Amino acid sequence: MVYKFFLTIAFAALALIPPISALDLQSSTWIWTNEVSGGEAPAGNRAFRKDFVAPLGKTPVQADILLTVDNIFTFYVNGIEAGSGRGYNIGHLFCVAMSPCLNVFAVNATNEGPGSSPAGLVAAIQITYSDGTTTNIVTDTTWLYSTTVPSGFEQLSFDDSSWKPAIGEGAFGISPWGPTAQVIDAPTLSIANASWIWTNEVVGGNAPSGNRAFRRTYTPPPGQTPTSATIIISADDAYSLYVNGVLVGSGNSWGTAQTYSIGLAPAANYVFAVFAQNQGTTPNPAGLIAAIQINIAQCDCAAPVLFVTDGEWTSNTGTPAGFQLPGFDDSTWPAATIEGPFGISPWGNISVGGPGAANPIPGAPN
């Protein structure tokens, strides 16, 4: 009850706050783990955290964040996912409401493989208080890292006392990244930011034929109510897409992605589930790719939430009954396997078209 009361006061205070100063990364440092050697680091996922406690007498209301990672990230604030993205040359902008006490910014950052390559995280955060004043936070060696991604690492209660200070790789603008991520735009929905994913059955670019299930759950932050979503999606060879158990549409031509715009009813969680089909009688290329934008009603600062197909999706080599429903337990499902970014062979730069068929593909739930 106290927390809800604070949120009401905080959101009302937003109307009194002047527009934020333009965020940039000029004072930020590219950071990573202690695994960097010769400008390169091993492929894989790494976790980063930064705690923030407001000065005495100050009440934080919102945080505006500009962030990018070489190559892929999922970003959390106080244990709640704020969004995800890929591409170090794109500055991703987020805005979230703050807690009056402890706040935690956390990043699951992925350096794409298969071998070692440049890896880095860079961010700038502006905290706005209820009196209109601000504080700036940048990526530096006060951030903490882990070379593994422990379960619950993004939560406020997680114990990061054994984590080590991040390693500074150099100021924003250094090689190999340069200044390109300085560009600040509202998040843009694009399938070009997504990865092709499948189950862990892919060998040499081929996977067994058959039906597979994929899921991605989004939990909105307190005080924010999603109102609509736009989804761009394709699969090799065919798919049926569900949102909170309701069929959205189907497609069976991987060379053109379909686009759907749907309304969202208030819910605690939003589950995007896909029944995907790799056709044929022998192993052949199989993949799923999607980009999703969720529009928010409350919280004046809230930008649309964007996420894409990546390792945050779960996958199953079967299609269990009810897997498309929001109450289905996918906690034992493994993470989807990333096959590569948009544009990779054999799919190339697929086009984007309108919505697909209104009926499920054969074998998919009604």
The residue segments making up the domain with residue 120 are: 2-182
Query: How many Cβ atoms are within 10 Å of 46's Cβ, its own excluded?
Result: 24
In a domain, 231, yes or no: yes
The answer to whether residues 68 and 215 belong to one domain is no
Query: What pLDDT is recorded for position 186?
Result: 52
Structure tokens at 252: 């069976």
The answer to whether residues 115 and 66 belong to one domain is yes
- The full 3-state SS of 199-238, as one line of letters, equals CCCCECCEECCEEEEEEEEECCCCCCCEEEEEEEEEEECE
The answer to whether residues 203 and 127 belong to one domain is no
The answer to whether residues 153 and 286 belong to one domain is no
Q: What is the CATH number of the domain that holds 254?
A: 2.60.120.260
Cis check for the bond before 237: say yes or no (omega within 30 of 0): yes
Residue at which a domain ends, from 182, 201, 220: 182
The answer to whether residues 94 and 224 belong to one domain is no
Per-residue pLDDT reduced to its tens digit, 157-172: 999 999 999 999 999 9
User: Which residue type sits at 52?
Assistant: F
The answer to whether residues 30 and 170 belong to one domain is yes
Query: What pLDDT is recorded for position 22?
Result: 57
In a domain, 358, yes or no: no
Number of domains in the chain: 2
In a domain, 359, yes or no: no
The answer to whether residues 230 and 157 belong to one domain is no
The answer to whether residues 263 and 170 belong to one domain is no
Dihedral sign computed on CA atoms, order 167, 168, 173, 176: negative
The answer to whether residues 12 and 126 belong to one domain is yes
In a domain, 304, yes or no: yes
Whether 88 contacts 69, CB under 8 Å: yes
| 3-state SS, residue 320 | coil
In a domain, 357, yes or no: no
Enclosing H/E stretch for 9: helix 2-14
Residue numbers of the chain with a pLDDT score lower than 50: 1-21, 184
Structure tokens at 260: 């759907």
In a domain, 363, yes or no: no
In a domain, 361, yes or no: no
Query: What pLDDT is recorded for position 10?
Result: 33
The answer to whether residues 158 and 231 belong to one domain is no
Query: What pLDDT is recorded for position 257?
Result: 98
The answer to whether residues 76 and 206 belong to one domain is no
In a domain, 287, yes or no: yes
Query: What pLDDT is recorded for position 94?
Result: 84
> Token pair 């080599």 is at which residue?
317
Residue at which a domain ends, from 147, 162, 182: 182
The answer to whether residues 156 and 275 belong to one domain is no
| pLDDT, mean over the chain | 89
Q: What is the Cα–Cα distance from 144 to 160, expressed in whole angstroms?
A: 8
Query: What pLDDT is recorded for position 2?
Result: 31
Residue at which a domain ends, from 182, 217, 249: 182
